[in-house]
Amino acid sequence: MATIRDVAKLAGVSVATVSRVLNKTGYVNVETGRKVEKAIQQLQYEPNSVARGLAGKRTSTIAFILPDITNPFFSEMARGVEDKARELGYTVILCNSDDQGQKEKTYIEVLKKKYIDGIIIASQTLSSEDIQKMQQDQIPLVVMDRAPENQHCSVIRCNNYMGAKEAVAHLVEQGCCKIGHIYGPQELITARERMLAYEESVQGFSWYSPSLMEPGYFQLNGGQEAVKELLRRHPDIDGIFVGNDLMAIGVLKGLNQLGRRVPEDVAVCGFDGIALASMTIPELTTVAQPIYEMGELAALTLTQQIESTKPLPSVFELEPIFIERSSTRREPLA
Amino acid sequence: MATIRDVAKLAGVSVATVSRVLNKTGYVNVETGRKVEKAIQQLQYEPNSVARGLAGKRTSTIAFILPDITNPFFSEMARGVEDKARELGYTVILCNSDDQGQKEKTYIEVLKKKYIDGIIIASQTLSSEDIQKMQQDQIPLVVMDRAPENQHCSVIRCNNYMGAKEAVAHLVEQGCCKIGHIYGPQELITARERMLAYEESVQGFSWYSPSLMEPGYFQLNGGQEAVKELLRRHPDIDGIFVGNDLMAIGVLKGLNQLGRRVPEDVAVCGFDGIALASMTIPELTTVAQPIYEMGELAALTLTQQIESTKPLPSVFELEPIFIERSSTRREPLA
DNA sequence: CTGAAAGCGCTTACAG
DNA sequence: CTGAAAGCGCTTACAG
């Protein structure tokens, strides 16, 4: 492969000049520029990114740390990140953390050594101190689904609380007389917010009891198992607000196994709006986050932080959209 | 951050020596080694990967080019790739190609400039010439789901033909009297092999006609739409072998919308064995590939190629496993 | 507007 | 077993 030196020689200029036309930085005579361009063409020259990285401290590479790419929510988000990053000239490194702090930290060390330009974190176990520490290292950061108080980096999130309120209100409107909730891991702020909204929405009702809430892991089986436990305790439940779509799909399965019809016997509402939710039988009512767009926005925000002289952390709170489908569509009770 | 120079100074040796203990290469006196280790500890020294890459031509980074990370089949595979790569000390760059040759080529150019150590390609549009060209660039390569004739690189694949045969045989055994097939894009060898197996399995039957085959894109909607067309032409179909699970999930949906019961009216069998297939209603019978393991194997094979002096391309053909579930379980006809 | 030179932080023959 | 030196291929002040 040709180097910048070869180009300089062929064009009869110095490597500095070639570097200038390559990076469109500083002044360069139009005529000289043309000569250099021509030499680049002739030699099929492609600048070496690694050398560039070492000399310039920039690698045009970002990392996306997420719990598990196998989770459709995160793969949709990853697609958004990757598409936007590529559009902007960045390459993205994929890091599965399984929400384990240790894996995240190990990754961050590796990434720093690689002169990664910035990191998007959609994993929740990193403490505020960890994040502050990264700030000291000057490494641009965007976190997903964090509380906005965190002023050390940009955050992109959804209004989980309002979305969940809407979901529960909808179940009430549909005539549900005893609504349960299956919530995700309470280390996740998103899970906490959704649960809080549920509690505040239903605690005024006479039928309410804390035992209507059941924990579940944010996975397919999580929902399937949790719903069985929930119905064992409260066989008369006729509506369930589930903490995320993946669990909700498991809930549909669990209810089916228990012989309950959805929505006739039990109405089910999820959260997230993953693509799959429109393919279940029955189709899943859900609170849809703009998942792909959140990924795109994260990539855009991060690169802006990278490329601007002064990092300007900002908070984006997006609004989810309630989507009514057949898993909750029932005739009003007589 | 401390550099190798700082370590050398503190330990009272040359940078060459530090480099030797870092890389465990060449001889180094035990005592000297200890001094160096101590200096490294004291300074919290971490070698700079970029400098290392430039000097040594190795970056401990590989790339995984796939059609779309949003497809559960590929996200499971990506998880396998990433887990194994990390275990082996590599980092992985994610590249979505949408099966567009242009995107793949652009990516490959970018990756070469980044001194990527090797590439795993699970995308099918790259021609044999393209692959050969990469071979000339000395870049280690592993391709997924290619025909084994390709001797320029390692290939990892599944016995699609046998798996599909088994699927169709099972439908026949279940008493299906008219079996249709929804096939994926014929540019994909996997789709072709599965279709071929279907044809060869059924063409001896009196009910067979080529119009029992219907094309569909390897996506949820693909199956949903294709099954409607298929049943319009052949309302009496009572079994369908679907080219992959994602389409099969769409088929379940489509049949439900048409008011056909699965498996009572129509038995449905998919292919791939994605996690979701066990969560559908009814659960999907499928031919399961060891998806995660294929990803792991790809990463392992690639790194072996990278680290061994002479690349030893090899072909792995794995056997799929037939999994019978309720989407095909019917009482034999009287 | 352009060039010479230092420097980014390592690795790798080559001497000794 | 160890060190001096060249080199990887760029970028970036600094002069001019």
Same-domain check for residues B200 and B264: yes
A chain contacts of residue B112, beta-carbon cutoff 8 Å = 46
Which positions in chain A touch B113 (Cβ < 8 Å)?
46-49
At residue A249, the pLDDT reads 97
What is the distance between the alpha carbons of residues B216 and B213, in angstroms, rounded to a whole number?
Answer: 10
At A126 the pLDDT is 77
CA-CA distance, A97 to A323, in Å (whole number)?
31
Residue B263 reports pLDDT greater than 50: yes
- Cβ contact, residue pair B50, A72, below 8 Å: no
Q: Which of residues 4-23 of B touch strand D (CB under 7 A)?
A: 12-17, 20
| B18: enclosing H helix or E strand | helix B15-23
Q: In this structure, are B142 and B194 located in the same domain?
A: no
pLDDT at A312 over 50: yes
- Which nucleotide C1' is nearest A31 CA? C1
Same domain, A130 and A145: yes
Same domain, B284 and B209: yes
The answer to whether residue A52 is domain-embedded is no
**pLDDT confidence of residue B200:** 97
A59–B79 CB contact, under 8 Å: no
Domain assignment present for B53: no
- DSSP for B61-130, written as a single string: EEEEEES-TTSHHHHHHHHHHHHHHHHTT-EEEEEE-TT-HHHHHHHHHHHHHTT-SEEEE--S---HHH
B65-85 average pLDDT score: 97
Does the nearest atom of strand D lie within 7 Å of A60's Cβ? Answer: no
Query: In this predicted structure, what is the pLDDT of residue A110?
Result: 93
pLDDT interval class at B139 (50, 70, 90): confident
The string of pLDDT tens digits covering residues A89-101 is 999 999 999 999 8
**Could you tell me if residue A205 is inside a domain?**
yes
8 Å CB contact between B266 and B255: yes
Is any atom of strand D within 7 angstroms of residue A9's beta carbon?
Answer: no
pLDDT of residue B129: 78
Cα separation, B241 vs B157, whole angstroms: 20
User: pLDDT above 90 covers what percent of chain B?
Assistant: 79
Is residue B206 less than 8 Å (CB to CB) from chain A? no
Would residue A55 count as lying in a domain? no
- Is A269 found in the same domain as A187? yes
- The protein residue nearest nucleotide C8, judged by CA to C1', is A55
Q: Is residue B329 part of a domain?
A: no
Helix or strand run (H / E) with residue B156: strand B154-158
Q: Which range of residues forms the domain containing residue B24?
A: 4-47
Distance between CA atoms of A139 and A111, rounded to whole angstroms? 10
Most confident stretch, A110-114, B136-140, B228-232, B310-314 = B228-232
On whether both A43 and A146 belong to a single domain, the answer is no
Q: Domain for residue B54, yes or no?
A: no
- pLDDT at site A27: 86
Q: Based on the fold, state whether residues B172 and B281 are members of the same structural domain.
A: yes
Chain D nucleotides close to protein (CB under 7 A) are: 1-5, 7-13
Q: Is the CB of A25 under 7 A from strand D?
A: yes
pLDDT in tens, B52-62: 999 988 899 99
Q: Which domain CATH number covers B137?
A: 3.40.50.2300
Give me the torsion for CA of A94, A100, A314, A158, rounded to 10°.
90
Identify which has the larger pLDDT, A19 or B153: A19
pLDDT band, very low/low/confident/very high, at A331 (cuts 50, 70, 90): low
Q: Do B69 and A92 touch (CB under 8 A)?
A: no
Rounded distance, CA A181 to CA A266, Å? 12
- Residue A177 and residue A130 share a domain: no
Token digits of residue A61: 């590479």
Asked whether residue A243 falls in the same domain as residue A96, the answer is: no
pLDDT at B333 over 60: no
Confidence band, pLDDT 50/70/90 cuts, at residue A150: low
Compute the distance between CA of residue B20 and CA of residue A127 in angstroms, rounded to an integer. Answer: 37
Q: Which residue, chain included where needed, has tokens 């793969």?
A: A75
For residue A309, the model assigns a pLDDT of 63
In a shared domain, residues B22 and B138 = no
What total number of domains does chain B contain?
Answer: 3
Give the residue whose CA sits closest to D9 at C1': A51
Q: Which nucleotides of C are covered by protein (CB under 7 A)?
A: 1-5, 7-13
Angle at A156 between CA A152 and CA A158, to 5 degrees: 135
- The mean per-residue pLDDT over the stretch A318-327 comes to 97
| pLDDT at residue A136, as a whole number | 76
Do A259 and A168 share a domain, yes or no? yes
Q: For the segment B13-38, what is each residue's pLDDT rounded down to a tens digit?
A: 999 999 999 998 888 899 899 999 99
Quote the mean pLDDT of chain B. 92
The residue ranking higher by pLDDT, B260 or B308, is: B260
**For residue A156, what are the β-bridge partners?**
A144, A316
- In this complex, the residue with its CA at the shortest distance from the C1' of nucleotide D1 is B28
Q: Residue A334 — very low, low, confident or very high, per pLDDT cuts 50/70/90? A: very low
Residue A311 has pLDDT above 90, yes or no: no
Within 8 A of A75 by CB-CB distance, chain B residues are 69-70, 72, 75
- pLDDT 10s digits, B209-245: 999 999 998 888 899 999 999 999 999 999 999 999 9
Beta carbons within 8 Å of B123's beta carbon, 6+ residues apart:
B65, B66, B67, B97, B99, B104
Q: How far is B49 from chain A (nearest CA, A)?
A: 5
User: A333 pLDDT band (50/70/90 cuts)?
Assistant: very low
**In the predicted model, is pLDDT for residue A68 greater than 90?**
yes
The 10s digit of each residue's pLDDT in B176-219 is 999 999 999 998 999 999 999 999 999 999 999 999 999 998 88
B96, part of any domain: yes
The tokens describing A330, both together, are 């029932």
* B334, pLDDT greater than 70: no
Q: For residue range A25-56, list pLDDT tens digits in order.
A: 888 889 899 999 999 999 999 999 999 999 98
Calpha distance A105→A100 (Å, rounded): 9
- Quick: pLDDT tens for A250-286: 999 999 999 999 999 999 999 999 999 999 999 999 9
> Does B82 share its domain with B123?
yes
Question: Closest nucleotide (CA of A53 to C1')?
Answer: D10
- Flag whether A334 is in a domain: no
